[in-house]
Amino acid sequence: MARAALRWGVRDLANHAGITAATVTRIENDYAAHASTLLAIRAAFEAAGIEFIPENGGGAGVRFRKPPAPA
């Protein structure tokens, strides 16, 4: 969902996370991944403004982080 929200292709995410496009594809197809790879992906999404929403009865999700309030 985060990749779609950012309108990133597999290669875009791979470039931002410093991993290969093949790795992104494997993860999206439910293959196991190293924790460090998942952290790199999360960091790339967060740097792009994505906020991860924890499970709250309706399922986990993502959204764009609110911009900071004007000073």
Q: Is 49:39 a contact under the CB 8 Å cutoff?
A: no
Distance CA 2, CA 47 (A): 12
Q: How far is CA 7 from the centre of its chain?
A: 12
Radius of gyration of the chain (CA): 13
Q: What is the pLDDT of residue 23?
A: 98
Range among 1-5, 20-24, 65-69 with highest mean pLDDT value: 20-24
Tell me the β-bridge partners of 64: 50
Segment 4-21 mean pLDDT: 96
Q: What is the pLDDT of residue 52?
A: 86
Confidence of residue 68 (pLDDT cuts 50, 70, 90): low
